[in-house]
């Protein structure tokens, strides 16, 4: 039976980018890896890239920024009659002389 602390990093794991303090990010058993001489995942960037997937931004702050960006883009479009709302900027090609 495996002990619950078997996946816990050992002293030689200090400075490794896969060290998560309570476990190895690569899912290795650090104690048995270091007993063999060297851990095969020690500071391995390819393992780290596979573990960390880019997370799309979410949440209230991101939604607020997205709404604000869309609102600014809508406000700068010219209206059907060719007039622009006062105080708004529009591209040079839409301005009548």
**83 occurs within a structural domain:** yes
- Residues spanned by the domain of 40: 11-51
Residues 19 and 46 in one domain: yes
Q: Give yes or no: residues 64 and 47 share one domain.
A: no
pTM to 2 decimal places: 0.43
With 0-12 CB in 10 A as exposed, 13-18 as middle and 19+ as buried, what is 41? buried
Q: Which residue has the tokens 């006062």?
A: 86
- 5 within some domain: no
Q: Which residues contact 27 (CB under 8 A, 6 or more apart)?
A: 7
Distances (CA, A) of 27 to 2, 11, 32, 34, 88: 14, 17, 12, 14, 55
pLDDT digits (tens, 9 = 90+) for 41-96: 888 888 777 777 777 788 899 999 999 998 888 877 666 666 666 655 555 555 55
Q: Are residue 45 and residue 66 in the same domain, yes or no?
A: no
Alpha carbon 3 to its chain's center: 33
**pLDDT tens-digit map of 9-49:** 788 888 888 887 888 877 778 888 888 888 888 888 887 77
What confidence score (pLDDT) does residue 62 get?
93
What is the number of domains present in the chain?
2
């Amino acid at each position: 039976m495996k002990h619950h602390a078997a996946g816990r990093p050992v002293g030689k794991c200090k400075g490794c980018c896969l060290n998560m303090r309570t476990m190895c990010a690569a899912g290795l058993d650090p104690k048995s890896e270091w007993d063999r001489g060297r851990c095969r995942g020690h500071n391995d960037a390819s393992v780290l890239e596979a573990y960390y997937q880019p997370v799309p931004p979410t949440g209230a702050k991101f939604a607020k920024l997205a709404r604000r960006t869309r609102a600014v883009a809508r406000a700068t479009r010219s209206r059907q009659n060719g007039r622009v709302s006062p105080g708004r900027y529009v591209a040079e090609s839409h301005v009548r002389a």
